[in-house]
Structures are given as structure tokens and as C-alpha cells.
Amino acid sequence: MILTGIVILPLIAGLLSLAVKSQPWLERLNLLTFGAVAVLAATLAGEVQVTGVVSGLNGFLYADALSALVAGLIAFVALVTGIYAIGYFREDERIQKVTVRQTRWYYRLTPFFVFAMLLVVLTNSLGVMWVAIEGTTLASVLLIAFYNEKTSIEAAWKYIIIGSLGISMALFGTIMTYYSAVGVLGTDASASGLNWSVLAAVGDKLNPRAMRLAFLFVLLGYGTKAGLVPMHTWKPDAYSEAPAPATALLGAGVINCAIYAIMRFSALGTACLGHGFVGNVLVAFGLGSVLLAAPFVLVQRNYRRLLAYSSIEHAGIMVAALGFGGQLGALGAVLHMTFHAVTKPLVFFCAGNVQQHFGTPYLRKITGVIHVLPWTGGLFLMVTLAITGVPPFSIFQSEFTILSAGLAANRGWATALFVVGVVTIFSGFLVHMSKLNLGTPRSEAPIKGESPWKLGAMVIVAVVIICLGFWLPAPLFQLIEAATKIVGGNP
């Protein structure tokens, strides 16, 4: 019942909002929906801990600890982004960057976007999961083209073309998985042959030749959505052109959907092929992404694109953790996914504020944000430390776990390269962000009051980030542990 509600609610809200014209009502509808989804997601997480697995709609929907965790993260991101968006778009309208008609489409598309993301993690069928991931692309492409400028249309075109190309490969992988499932289960199982609950049980009996091809194609496909190198090229464009709230949904929501899909298939691939092949491929893609992101972070001139490379890096870290494998690697991947999803929205919010106030995405044109926008500047510095993995913030913990996993898996060289990449990105970020936030502001711009909606959302996220640095609540940790067992396979 809860499971059905959490998926249906945003869909209904989306359809309803097509009929609504008044902006205050659209704002309320959005906020109410995402608030309700967050409450339901928390309840679902509680229920999953008691019963292990929850299913709904005749087994069409399915939630275990991993799905419940990711659904919770998506709900959190959707809620804080919903709050922030109200302040952000009111400001955009005030400075006449967009019209009320344009903003309406943001509020109408986001419920569908969130619906697709929740369906990705809460469906039982790997086929429907594919449909939903393609759905996230389709719901978000017009959000990227939102400002309707030459550059934003270019970014949207690249996003949908590269995204569709990648996702077709994932479909091919899904078809191959289905083929090997039918080989084991016989044609009687044709309707349920893609269901995770069925596949996970017969993982070791699947046709290895077909599964090897399937895993490679799925990784290429969902890796495109996660932004792994070399399929990452859409990401800097999309992240720099979309309005800040849409970027937050992409960079903290969709990335988790893609990583979630990769986690499912890596568990399946490991069960069928053993960890050797799967681990090598994952480490190669993960490490490649971290290492390629590093030089681009160092020489970056545009802070919105900088954040995209940070996102590529974090996708790489999660995939590398999966590749290191074992319970420790799985724990690292799940922890990192959780902490990244909680931390990342604040980065996008701060960047959005800076761009909205100064009207430029170029680093060299802005200094001394902290003097002009004290809250934004301060939080920006804090979250820079948090996202690059400085203790005591929680990302340090997950990165440290991943390092231990790498050493435990006897991948010394890979671990060393991983450290080089992460440290380079840390220093690059620190240099760029201290230049941006500290120093004297260009003009004698007065200190400006910041919108309570934007500030509220930012403070909520900041409080959560700080709390998680020192204290991981017991129920959350149990959920993460249970999810780790699913990702790592029960030993």
C-alpha cells in the first residue's frame, strides 16, 4: 500500500499540475507531493527493516533494503530541491530571466521526473527499470533546455542523443539478460523472466556467455547515465545549462538511479561470472572517470562545469568501489552513494545562488562571495570541504572504506591511482572555491538579504551533512548494512 502510494503520488500530482495555472498553487502542489513522498519513503524504509521485502501491485513493485534506501535518498533530494526551487524561480522571475509561463513547466515536469526516478528503484522488473531510466531522460531534457538559449538547446540535444544512444546499449544488455533467464526458467516464465526477485535466485545458473555480453552493454548504457568516462561528455554541458534545481535533481537523483541499476547488474554478473571479470571492468571504468575528471577540475574556468566533473568523479568512485568488491567494497559503494546524495544538493544550491546573483558562471569574474552573500559563501566553503572528502565530513568515511576495500582486494596500484585522483580533485576544488568565496568583492556590492526559501533548503541540507559527519542514526545504518548484503551478495 505504501509502496504503491509512493510511486503513484508523484504521477497523480504531475497529471494534476497540467491543469493548474496559478503559480502559488503549483508551488504548493509540488511541495506537498514531495513532502508526502518523503514521509512515505521513511515509512517504507521502516517496513522493509521489519519484513525484509515489500511488494505491491501483484509483484510489479518490489522493495528490498537497497531500493528503500535509494528511494529515501531520492525523496530527500526531491523535497529539499522543491523548497529551494520556489526561492530560485521567484528570483529568476524578479530579474526577468524567465516568464511565469516558463516556470510553470518546471513545476509540471518535476513530478514526472521524480515519478520516473522512484519507479527505477521500486520496480521488480529490470525491463521496466530500463523504461523508467529512459523516462528520467525524457522528463528532464526540457528542463535542461529551460532557458531556451542557444547553449541550453545545444546541451539538451547532446543530452538526449548521447543518453538515448547509451540507453539503447543498456536495452540490448537487458535483452541478453532476459535471453539467459529464459534459457534457465523456460518459456513459462516469460512474464517474470526479468524480475529481480526471480533472477537473483538463479544468478549462478545463467548462461555465462550471454551474461558477459549483457553486463558489458548494461555497464556502457547505465554508465552513460551515471556519467562514466568516456560517455560523460553530455554532463558538463547539461549541468552548466540547466537551472540549479534541475541540476540538483540530475546530480543527486538520476546519478543514484544509474548507480543503483549498475549495482543490481553487478550483483547478477558476479553471481554468474565470478567477481574477476566484473570487478576488472568496473575498476577500469571507475578509475578512468576519477583520473580523467582530475585535470579538468584543475583547469576549469566555469564553476557549474566544475561541479559536473565532481559528479563524474563521484560516479567513478562508486563504480570503482563496486569493482573492488567484497563486503567492504559494497559497503563503501552504498555509504558513498548515501553521503554523496545528501551532500551534493547543497553544492548545486550554492552555485545556483552565486550564478543568480552575479549573472556569470565564470570563476575569474567573481571573488569575495562571502562578503556579498554571507550565508551562501560560508556554506559553499563548508560543502566544498564536505564533498571533497575532508574529515570530519561523512564522505571521508566512505572514501576511506573504499580505500581499505581496494587494499583488501590486493589492488594496490588501482588504490594508489585512486588516491592520486581524489587528492588532485580536492586541491583543485580548494583553490577554485577559496578564490571564488574569499578575497575582496569586485564592486562595492551591498550585503544582500537572501531568500528564506533558498536559505531554508540550504540550512536543512547543511544540518543533515554536519549531523551525518558525527553520527549515523542506528536505523539508517541497519538499512545501509542490509543494502550492502544485497549489493555484495550474501557470503
User: Which residues of this protein are in contact with other proteins, per CB under 8 A?
Assistant: 60, 125, 127-128, 130-132, 134-135, 138, 141-142, 145, 148-151, 153-158, 160-161, 164-165, 168, 171-172, 174-176, 178-179, 182, 187, 190-194, 209-210, 213, 236-237, 240-241, 296, 299-302, 305
CB of 131 vs other proteins, minimal distance in Å: 3
Cβ of residue 190: shortest distance to other proteins, in angstroms? 6
User: Contacts for 145-149 with beta carbons within 8 Å, 24 or more apart?
Assistant: 145/241, 146/98, 146/102, 146/105, 146/106, 146/242, 146/243, 146/246, 147/97, 147/98, 147/241, 147/243, 148/102, 149/241
CA atoms within 13 A on the CB side of 427: 9
- Closer Cβ to other proteins, 151 or 478, answer by number: 151
Nearer to other proteins, 59 or 441 (CB): 59
Residue 356 beta carbon to other proteins: minimum distance, rounded to whole angstroms: 20
HSE (side-chain half, CA atoms, 13 Å) at 102: 17
Among the listed residues 139, 27, 83, 175, the one whose alpha carbon sits nearest the alpha carbon of residue 458: 83
Nearest residue (CB) to other proteins, 58 versus 490 = 58
**Considering beta carbons, is residue 123 or 394 the nearer one to other proteins?**
123
Alpha-carbon separation of residue 318 from 281, 287, 442 (angstroms): 13, 10, 39
Q: CA-to-CA distance for 177 and 446, rounded, in angstroms? A: 60
The residue among 136 and 401 lying less far from other proteins, judged by its C-beta, is: 136
What is the DSSP secondary-structure string of 171-182?
A: HHHHHHHHHHHH
Q: At its nearest, how many Å lie between other proteins and the CB of residue 125?
A: 6
Cα 428 to Cα 146: distance, rounded to the nearest angstrom: 30
Eight-state DSSP code of residue 149: -
**In the complex, least distance from residue 108 CB atom to other proteins, rounded to whole angstroms:** 14
Contact present, 224 and 262 (Cβ < 8 Å): no
Q: Which is nearer to other proteins, 4 or 302 (CB)?
A: 302
Rank residues 152 and 394 by Cβ distance to other proteins and give the closer one.
152
Rounded-to-integer distance, Cα 346 and Cα 354, Å: 12
For the CB of residue 135, give the shortest distance to other proteins in the complex, in Å: 6
Which of 152, 451 has the CB closer to other proteins? 152
Smallest separation (angstroms) from other proteins to the CB of 196: 13
Residue 141 CB, shortest distance to other proteins, in Å, is: 6
Q: How far is the CB of 164 from other proteins (least distance, A)?
A: 5
Q: Which is nearer to other proteins, 46 or 127 (CB)?
A: 127
Q: How many helices, marked H, and strands, marked E, lie in the chain?
A: 20, 2
Cell of 280: 576488472
> What does the H/E/C string look like for 410-438?
CCHHHHHHHHHHHHHHHHHHHHHHHHHHC
Q: How many CA atoms lie within 13 A of 398 on its CB side?
A: 33
